[in-house]
DNA sequence: TTATATCGGATAAATAAAATCCGATTTATC
DNA sequence: GATAAATCGGATTTTATTTATCCGATATAA
């Protein structure tokens, strides 16, 4: 029932790119250092983000990653599901037939509702909002 | 971000005991068979449920498990947290110091809110409700 | 006293998460 | 071009967690 570190790292990476700005290419090594992500692991995660069109990977010298959508349109759910696949709390939510109890089971309906609530919370949070909140916090120092 | 099978089994076990009635002792083997839970594993899970006073374990011949609270007062959250410990979606929710970003990080606040929503959903679901919903479903056949 | 059950600690097996390695490829710059 | 700086992407390794199982000890009914 917990986030994987992969998700945590993916969010950090996108947060960093959002902060730098949409069109800026940032080197993998720099993101890894500043966001405390193991370098080669970030490479793997980036590939997944790229497959979902969240970032673009620029190869070669001076290469790195660049944010594709604007932070206003990009949500936590987008990033999480890019690396984890669809979010759900129990197998039976996605594949009812995986459990012999499912024809009558009402626990499944609870998992289903809870899953939808969770996805909704994540869908409502854009990276623009996150950045804004963090910068407000800093400026009120 | 998923339930463990241990939780799933714990819920099935309590569901079965709730259905049998509060004062009835049911053998481990019978619960294991009817609810498709590996026998020895159910033993382990039962120990955790007993530590949280959700069931009472009766030893010796004709032994087994007995539900302690009434199904009206027992919630999904109680059972889940008896086997998993406190529910939370990311380490930083429980231990903010575990992440270097936490002083300014607003993602953590989202995890925190989502965690509370999830716990609330589970807290609102009693086993009495679950049973009732399932028996209504059956009788409307 | 015997048969039936669970206890509870130790251990094993299986799966998933987390991370690394490295030859291939791509691009900027000299 | 040649070279250096990056990432790619597939394979592999390491580590942690999940999912069990085993078994001697203990408890209880008959």
pLDDT (mean) for B63-89: 96
How many CA atoms lie within 13 Å of B54's alpha carbon, on the beta-carbon side? 27
Indicate the average pLDDT of chain B. 95
Q: Find residues whose C-beta atom lies within 7 angstroms of strand D.
A: A 27-29, 40, 43-44, 46-47, 50, 57-64; B 4-6, 38-41, 43-44, 58-63
Minimal Cα distance from B112: which residue of A? A121
pLDDT digits (tens, 9 = 90+) for A35-74: 999 999 999 999 999 999 999 999 999 999 999 999 999 9
B60 touches strand C (CB under 7 A): yes
Alpha helices in B22-139 (DSSP H): 28-34, 39-51, 76-84, 91-94, 107-123, 127-139
Mean pLDDT in residue range A83-89: 96
Q: Give the DSSP per-residue string, B2-23.
A: ---HHHHHHHHHHHHHHHH-TT
Report the b/e string of B34-46 with b at 16+ CB within 10 A: ebebeeeebeebb
- The residue that minimises its CA distance to C1' of C3 is B61
Say what the pLDDT of residue A139 is. 73
CB atoms within 10 A of CB A92: 21
- List chain B residues with CB under 8 Å of A7: 1
Element (H, E) at A64: strand A64-67
Across the interface, do B133 and A100 touch by the CB < 8 Å criterion?
no
How many C-beta neighbours within 10 Å does residue A76 have?
Answer: 25
Residue-range domains of chain A with CATH:
5-139 (1.10.10.10)
Give the tens place of pLDDT for each residue, B86-116. 999 999 999 999 999 999 999 999 999 999 9
pLDDT at B139 over 90: no
Decide if pLDDT at A140 tops 70.
no
- Give A105-134 pLDDT, tens digit per residue: 999 999 999 999 999 999 999 999 999 998
Structure token digits, residue B83: 């086997």
The answer to whether the CB atoms of B134 and A100 lie below 8 A apart is no
């Amino acid at each position: 029932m917990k986030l994987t570190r992969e998700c945590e790292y993916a969010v950090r990476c996108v947060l960093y790119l959002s902060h730098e700005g949409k069109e800026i290419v940032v080197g993998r090594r720099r993101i890894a250092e500043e966001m405390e992500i193991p370098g080669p692991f970030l490479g793997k995660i980036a590939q997944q983000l790229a497959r979902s069109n969240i970032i673009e990977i620029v190869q070669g010298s001076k290469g790195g990653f660049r944010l594709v959508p604007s932070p206003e349109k990009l949500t936590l759910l987008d990033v999480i599901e890019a690396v984890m696949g669809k979010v759900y709390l129990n197998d039976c939510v996605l594949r009812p037939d995986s459990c012999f109890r499912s024809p009558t089971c009402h626990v499944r309906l609870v998992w289903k509702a809870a899953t939808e609530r969770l996805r909704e919370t994540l869908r409502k949070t854009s990276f623009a909002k996150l950045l804004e909140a963090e910068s407000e916090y800093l400026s009120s120092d």
